């Protein structure tokens, strides 16, 4: 597709369950970012992938969070044993290069943990 695609768009899960969120970046974009945005708050950096380099995981809030990316394509963000404080919109973005070019965002996955 032309833009960054995320799925699902909405996810409601019970506390303690695992969830997997998917991001399809724009073709050819080597950089991919995951951010979290809680209601009424700013974007919180989670993890960043650049080509085949080791990912920057410095933003992951706990070891319940992990992410993978296959080459320069799809990425999945996994949250294990979800907690209510994980409820947020999870945004994925991609860019041609890292850090100094426009990042294009997907529409996000709205996660609600009940």
Partner 1 sequence: RKEVEQDPGPFNVPEGATVAFNCTYSNSASQSFFWYRQDCRKEPKLLMSVYSSGNEDGRFTAQLNRASQYISLLIRDSKLSDSATYLCVVNISPGRRALTFGSGTRLQVQP
Contact residues: partner 1, CB under 8 A: 31, 33, 35, 41-43, 45, 48, 50, 56, 58-59, 91, 98-100, 102-103, 105-108
The nearer residue to partner 1, 91 or 113, going by C-beta atoms, is 91
State in angstroms the smallest separation of the CB of 11 from partner 1. 16
Q: From 41, 40, 86, select the one nearest 60 (Cα to Cα).
A: 86
The nearer residue to partner 1, 10 or 62, going by C-beta atoms, is 10
The nearer residue to partner 1, 80 or 105, going by C-beta atoms, is 105
The nearer residue to partner 1, 18 or 97, going by C-beta atoms, is 97
- Tokens (6 digits) for 2: 């032309």
Could you give the CA distance from residue 77 to residue 25 in angstroms, rounded to a whole number? 13
State in angstroms the smallest separation of the CB of 59 from partner 1. 8
Q: For 58-88, give the secondary structure using H, E and C.
A: CCCCCCCEEEEECCCCCEEEEECCCCHHHCE
C-beta separation of 8 from 109 below 8 A: yes
């Amino acid at each position: 597709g032309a833009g960054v695609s995320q799925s699902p768009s909405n996810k409601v899960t019970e506390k303690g369950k695992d969830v997997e969120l998917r991001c399809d970046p724009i073709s050819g974009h080597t950089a991919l970012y995951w951010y979290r945005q809680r209601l009424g708050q700013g974007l919180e950096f989670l993890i960043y992938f650049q080509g085949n380099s080791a990912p920057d995981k410095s933003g992951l809030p706990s070891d319940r969070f992990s992410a993978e990316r296959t080459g320069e394509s799809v990425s999945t963000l996994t949250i294990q044993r979800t907690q209510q404080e994980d409820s947020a919109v999870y945004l994925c973005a991609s860019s041609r290069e890292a850090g100094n070019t426009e990042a294009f965002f997907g529409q996000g996955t709205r996660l609600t943990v009940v």
